[in-house]
Amino acid sequence: MAVADYAHLWEPRPGWLNTASYGLPPRPAWEALQVALADWHVGATSWEPWDASTVRARESFARLIGAPAADVFVGSTVSAALAPIAAALPDGAKVLTDSVEFTSNVFPWQVHADRGIEVVTAPSEDFVAAIRPGVDVVAVSVVQSATGTVLDLPAVVAAGRRIGALVVLDASQAVGWLPLDVTGVDALVAHSYKWMMAPRGATFGYLSPALRDRCRPLHANWYAGSSYYGATMELPADARAFDQSPAWFSFVGAAPALELLEEIGIAEIHRHNVALANEFRAGLGLPPSDSAIVSADVPGADEAFKAAGVRAAVRDGRLRASFHVYSTRADVQLALDALS
């Protein structure tokens, strides 16, 4: 089936071009959340059915990135998911990131500056070449939030392996539209409220077994343990030891949204999104790209979009428009008409 066959599952107002800020919930996710909220309102159930959604969401995310569910942990934010990895670095380690990297994949490393952890940057176009001996961690987004640049992931993984550096990815702007496989990756974290179209508060992380053995579960809690009370801590041997206690309602919405992404197919969504983005780029006189995010220097675009009811974003002084499964050619034309 094509993306268009699922269009009835969303009800966006025309002109929503801002999935890079937050995604719109499909009907199954929205309805599941309303049921949970109604049950909560009157005390109709215990929490276990809500937690079953956390299990489903973990398993769906694992399939989306090609990982075993046992290597996936759940949490609330990208920065918190990265904290145990940053804490495991030896004193004096060097971390390479993109010069426009979103700060949730920068600050968790920089707070260890007192231990000699050094964060260095390179521009996207020179990033692979900057992966040279002396770099201990390559921490970078699969798709850049500010520019929409898609990482050459095989090249980054190969370069990291050559020098023995960890490859740690922020995939918040990628999972949900870009086909991914974590083979050769040490860690991948992603929030689900953008392209996975879940409520804010559900984050997922992949930890390779080799890296997991080097990390301490800094957020150890009842959910990751085996008992509610007492001074005996028993944590799982897999990535669940790094679970943060989940915000259940966020995962209630996340599970059906992720499962719908699987049903539609990421390859089909990728084709749809990039085609619309490139149609918009063509209307701006830009060459085609491989991204669902369009970043362009268009003076007055913010004001023109607001006047026409088009919702996009401005990042670093540039227009940022993003296209997802519920976007249409009519949205593209509305945006181009506004800018004309």
pLDDT tens profile 253-286: 999 999 999 999 999 999 999 999 999 999 999 9
Residues 6 or more apart whose CB falls under 8 angstroms from that of 85 comprise 108, 166, 168, 187, 207, 211, 215
pLDDT at 52: 97
Average pLDDT, the chain: 97
Domain final residue pick, 262, 296, 318 = 262
Are 205 and 297 members of one domain?
no
pLDDT at 315: 82
pLDDT at 149: 98
Domain final residue pick, 215, 233, 262 = 262
Q: Kindly state whether residue 36 falls inside one of the protein's structural domains.
A: no
Domain final residue pick, 213, 229, 262 = 262
The position carrying tokens 């993306």 is 3
Q: Residue range 215-225: average pLDDT? A: 95
The order of strands in the sheet holding 203-207 is 72-75, 203-207, 187-191, 166-170, 137-141, 94-98, 118-122
Are 100 and 197 members of one domain?
yes
Are 135 and 11 members of one domain?
no
Domain limits for position 169: 41-262
pLDDT at 317: 77
pTM reported for the whole predicted model:
0.96
Are 215 and 145 members of one domain?
yes
- Residue 175 — pLDDT band, cuts 50, 70, 90? very high
- Residue 226 — pLDDT band, cuts 50, 70, 90? confident
pLDDT above 80 (res 316): no
Percent of the chain clearing pLDDT 70 (strictly above): 100
pLDDT at 16: 98
H helices of the chain, where?
27-42, 48-65, 78-88, 107-110, 153-163, 209-212, 248-264, 266-283, 301-308, 329-339
pLDDT above 90 (res 307): yes
Are 65 and 98 members of one domain?
yes
Are 312 and 171 members of one domain?
no
Among 103-112, 148-157, 175-184, 312-321, the least confident range? 312-321
Are 253 and 305 members of one domain?
no
How many domains does one find in the chain? 2
Q: Kindly state whether residue 31 falls inside one of the protein's structural domains.
A: no
**CATH code, domain with 297:** 3.90.1150.10
